[in-house]
Every structure is written in structure tokens, then in C-alpha cells.
Structure 1
């Protein structure tokens, strides 16, 4: 990892993203779903909701860094509740 100047937290982050994509691929194969319409009034699948969650979480973390000096773990907690809301209502 040294040739890329990565840190262990960065490597773990990308490993978790890759594992999530693998799990969602397996879920899509084993349990196909039909798109559903949520509060955004657009059809979404599990993959769409995952993308919305990842994108929103990135913005939450950036806003957290820009507006507060509190530990980044707080942003992780906010992102968790955001992800639950997206998968439940979007």
C-alpha cells in the first residue's frame, strides 16, 4: 500500500465499499426485486438506494468536516441514520 500512500483506514473504507457491492450483487441474483416508488416519486431498486446513500453520506461527511471540529465518528452515526431512512422511504 505504500506505493499509493494509502493509510489503513482508507484501505478499510474501500474494502467495505467493495464488500457491499459484492453483497448487493449476490442479493440481486438470489432475490430479484421490482422497482418501487418512494418519497422521491421515482422508481428505485436496492442498487439505486445504495448509490443515493453513498452519495449523500459523502456530502454529510464533507459538511461535517467543513462545519464542526467534532470527531468524524459523529458523521458516521448521522450517515447510518441517513442510510436507514433512504432504504426505508426512498
Structure 2
């Protein structure tokens, strides 16, 4: 794995994403989900909402880095809160 410069933030990002995917897979196996319509304009499953939330978080981080001077940890906390809200009510 020497081809990539693994810093702590990079490694933790990939570990957290992997743990989220494993957790969602176990949750789906234990308690199968169904499509529902929340505040999003489409019917979604848990996996759909997770994917949409990860995309929104990625673009929010890019926009925050480009347009604001906010520290990265504040943007990350806002994105985590948004992801939790999207998973619960989306």
C-alpha cells in the first residue's frame, strides 16, 4: 500500500465508510427495509438515503473548502448531522 500517502484523515475516512457499509448490510439482513417517502421528492430505501447523504457530504466539503474559510472539522460535523437527519427523515 506504499503507492498512496496514507494519512490519518485519509485512512479514517475509508475505515468509516467501510464500517458504514458493513453496518448497513448487517442492518438490512437483520431487519429488511422498505421504500418510503420522507422529505426527499422520491421513494428511497436506507441504502439510497446513505448514498445520497454521502454525495451531499462530499459536495458540501468541496464547496466549503472552495468558498468559505471554515475549519474542516466544523463542516464535517455539519455534514454528519445532515446525514443523520437524511437517514432518519429523508
Partner of 1:13: 13
Aligned position for 1:67: 67
Hey, what's the Cα distance between the residues in 2 that align with 1:63 and 1:41? 23
Separation in 1 of the partners of 2:13 and 2:63? Answer: 19
> What is the deviation of 1:87?
1.5
Q: CA deviation at 1:8?
A: 2.1
Give TM-score scaled by structure 2 length: 0.90
Show the counterpart of 1:85.
85
Separation in 2, partners of 1:32, 1:69: 42
Cα deviation digits, residues 20-66 of structure 1 (max 9, x gap): 10010000000001111112231111101100110000011011101
The aligned residue for residue 39 of structure 2 is 39
Structure (1/2) with the larger strand percentage: 1
Structure 1 spans left out of the alignment, 5+ residues: none
Query: TM-score scaled by structure 1?
Result: 0.90
| Structure 2: distance between partners of 1:35 and 1:81 | 22
In structure 2, stretches of 5+ residues that fail to align are none
Query: How many residue pairs were aligned?
Result: 90
